[in-house]
Amino acid sequence: MCDEELIDMASTSLLDSNCDLCGTGNRVRCTHNKLKKARIQGAGTSGSVRSPIIVIGGRTSMVDDDDDDVVDDSDDIEDIMTPPVSGAGGGDKHAEKSQEAAAVVHPSDPISQSIGEFGRWQFLLTFLLSLVNFPCTFHIFAPTFEGAQRDFWCARPDGLSMPVDQWKNVSGIFDLDKDGNAVYDPCKVKDVSWLKNNLNETVITYSNDSVSWKTCQEWEYNMADFGKTIISEWNLVCENQQLSNIAEMMFLLGVAVGGLASGFFSDRLGRKNTLMVSLLLQIILGLSIAFVPWLSLYLVLRALLGFVCVSVVFSGFVLCMELVGGKWLTISGVSYLFPLPLAYIVISGIAYFIRDWRNLQVAITVPAIPFLLLWWVLPESPRWLLTMGRVEETMNVLKEAAQVNRIELPPDTHKILSRSISKVEMSESPKIGFGDLFRTPRIRKISLVLYIVWFTVYLIYYGVVLNLSSLGGNIYINSIISGAVEFPAIAISILFLLKMGRRWPLCLTVIGAGISCLLTIPVPKDFHWLKITFAMAAKFCISSSNVVMPVYTAELFPTVMRNLGVGSSNVPAGVALMLVPYLWNLADMNTNMPMGVLGFFGIIGGASVLLLPDTENLADTLNDIE
């Protein structure tokens, strides 16, 4: 006889007579029996039923449903089923509401069992936490405007009022491109010392071979589309062009390191503390960058800013996930990402009106200041407090949550929390190291394939997002469209996660992004709108992949190495981030090469997903995987 039949028989036997607690004749509808049946079913399916998992940047958030002792203590069951003593009228309704909420929550999740999986309290805090993504996304996207490329030319001598076009013809060195067209080289200038005594006279153009030339030392910039940028302020052109790539790479390096380190601080200092300290540092660093006098200091501060920005996002995400339970882990986790594309749109509008990079830096940093007030609003994660053994503080958080959710805590909540701590203290986690990710054949294949997928997704996502100015057209409109297409991409990811599984959606979206990148190659130069359309299609697909991928990754690794596996996947992702600034340098060899590289990796990375297994059930040990 199968387990399901045994569970049904046990459940039916409980429903054959009146309820012993309340005397209800119809035991099927009795709240106490619903809870009792839920406990029996939870025990019977332990090991195969799991709550959804959401992961971002190496941080895993889940509700552990393994609890083999759920129905062994009949006294505990009766304590949980006993309704709280309350006054007549509204109090009884709140008590009944609390019991009904608990009846549908898995009994090994003491937090959701006490306050429900999702309510008014969770909604308000999740909404507030999602807002911290705005200033973080501003800083991530800022180089698109603060370091935008524009036309430049060798500076005219002081006192020369010659128009720019005429100056280029007189002093410029022109090379032939692959199509045979003359292209101005802004890094070289002819010897025009003969102009000193004839500054404003009409002059003729000489060929490249007729006069000597030298390397430019000073430049002028076209200020029509952009104001002053870091490129024009520190002359990051010609021989110094690589410094502009390093400036962007330093921030992404900070993001990569912060993605790994934020978990360490969050686990030891708490989610709220890590979030608020990182938020304060983000404000200090953001404002400091706006007044920095040297490029070297700018590079250091940008790296530190990337570190704290990703710490804000990740710690806020983990706190958000640890306030909810059940299916709301998936829904709330994905919804937490919705402000990201909206932030892309907002910063595009800000940058349109504020063209000077220093003023723009101040404008995108100041909005984070009001979020410091969240220190007096946000609670610490009750799940983290519970793992730290701080039962009284956990109780205070749950009491506040129950009050906002308009329910009453079960009378034995303190006992349930204490028992949960005892079980955690009794369990000993096996020692797992990085080498265990490659020790056995199946887990080795999973690790290597996931590294390819993470590298691919990050390379395409940030390769498109941070190089919108290279696609042609208006950079501000491109940025707004880029943000707009991510809304439906995130929304459809929720349907993928809830209805369609993980492997095929991830495979198809990554391949779709790769094909879209390749489709930009045959587009004629004058058809900017078509090239941008294909680029936005790639952005749509890869944005969906970026949501599905962390969830799938967490489910593939067994419990004993889940955090290690997800965290290690951020290493190739970090490598991709550091390569992104140099990707578009390939355009000097061939204008289509950057998108060609993205397309190649998209197809290879998407196809490699098919080498991974499905994740119907979560594995706990390496033996389960093998």
The larger pLDDT score, comparing residue 88 to residue 91, is at: 91
Domain 433-626, CATH number (from 3.30.460.10, 1.20.210.10, 3.30.70.1400, 1.20.1250.20): 1.20.1250.20
**Average pLDDT, integer, range 347-353:** 90
Whole-number pLDDT of residue 432 = 64
pLDDT of residue 541: 93
Averaged pLDDT for residues 350-371: 93
H or E segment and range at residue 393 = helix 391-405
State how far the Cα of 433 lies from the Cα of 53, in Å rounded to an integer. Answer: 22
pLDDT digits (tens, 9 = 90+) for 526-553: 787 888 889 889 999 999 998 888 878 8
pLDDT band for 565, please (50, 70, 90 cuts). confident
* Cβ atoms within 10 Å, residue 454: 25
Tell which wins on pLDDT, 113 or 103. 113
For residue 304, what pLDDT is reported? 95
Residue 447: is its pLDDT beyond 60?
yes
**Buried b / exposed e along 397-407 (16+ C-beta atoms within 10 A):** bbeebbebbeb
Closest CA to 318 of 566, 574, 41: 566
Nearest by Cα to 543 from 366, 347, 344: 344
User: Helix axis angle, 241-269 relative to 271-290, nearest 10°?
Assistant: 160
Specify whether the CB–CB gap between 568 and 434 falls below 8 A.
yes
* The token pair that represents 371 in the structure block: 């979020």
Which two tokens mark 542? 């890869």
d(CA 77, CA 385): 24
Residue 350: partners with Cβ closer than 8 Å, 6 or more residues away: 138, 360, 363, 364
pLDDT at 210: 53
Comma-separated ranges of CATH 1.20.1250.20 domains in the chain = 433-626
The amino acid at residue 513 is: A
Spatial separation of the C-alpha atoms in residues 78 and 559, rounded to whole Å:
31
Q: 138-170 in b/e burial notation, b at 16+ Cβ within 10 A?
A: bbbbbbbbbbbbeebbbbbeeeeebeeeebbbb
pLDDT at 9 over 80: no
| H/E run at residue 59 | strand 59-61
Q: Mutual orientation of helices 133-141 and 295-321 as an angle, nearest 10°?
A: 150
> Residues 341, 488: contact at Cβ < 8 Å?
no
**Residue 494: its pLDDT value, please?**
79
| Amino acid identity at 535 | A
**Crossing angle for the helix pair 241-269 and 133-141, to the nearest 10 degrees:** 160
Q: Which has more pLDDT, 125 or 107?
A: 125
Among the listed residues 50, 558, 46, the one whose alpha carbon sits nearest the alpha carbon of residue 326: 50
- Average pLDDT over the chain reads 74
Contact (CB, 8 A) for 487 and 541: no
Which is higher by pLDDT, 305 or 525? 305
**d(C-alpha 417, C-alpha 114), whole Å:** 10
User: What tokens does 280 get?
Assistant: 């304060």
Query: For residue 276, what pLDDT band results from cuts at 50, 70 and 90?
Result: very high
Could you give the dihedral angle defined by the CA atoms of residues 472, 473, 479 and 480, in that order, rounded to the nearest 10 degrees?
-150
Above 80 in pLDDT, residue 10? no
